[in-house]
Homo-oligomer: A and B are copies of this chain.
Amino acid sequence: MRLELDSQSLLAVALAEARKGLAEGGIPIGAAIFDASGRLVGAGHNRRVQDGDPSMHAETNAFRNAGRQRSYRKLIMVSTLAPCWYCSGLVRQFGFAKLLVGESRNFPGGLEWLRSLGVPVVDLNSDECVSLMAGYIRANPAVWNEDIGEE
């Protein structure tokens, strides 16, 4: 157990989820929730296309898969992409200790809002995450716009 968790290792788990989603024909966004010792509590990926379920953004799918938790105050939310308002609201409501994102170039989400509220946010600005998402958006603009409520 390391006190200082390796951010890239945590992101790798979310990125593997994003790639799994892409392989299933879905939107390639992945997320994972870890405790302070680096233990994986839950992971998931966007399931809009696979399940016809608009509520399953990557972060909400990881949150679901983590099951009922008594507290989130020591847990870290990791996502390959900056969370939208829906998922930023999730991070705020449940008081996650920290948010780690792969990138915010394809979508800025609520990162600044969360920072302004005092939530520690780390943006790894990962080229791998940027290119995975940019490629999907280029090829599937309608699905992506639907996923974030843009017309």
Contact = CB atoms under 8 A, between A and B. Distances in A.
Interface of A: 48, 52-56, 60-61, 63-64, 66-73, 84-90, 92-95, 110, 146, 148-149, 151
Given A54-B63, A54-B69, A64-B54, A84 B95 contact: no
Given A55-B64, A95-B149, 7 more contacts: A48-B68, A53-B64, A54-B66, A86-B92, A87-B89, A89-B92, A93-B149
Top 6 A-B pairs ranked by shortest CB distance? A89-B89, A94-B149, A55-B64, A85-B89, A85-B93, A86-B89
A54 B33 CA distance: 14
A149 B63 contact: no
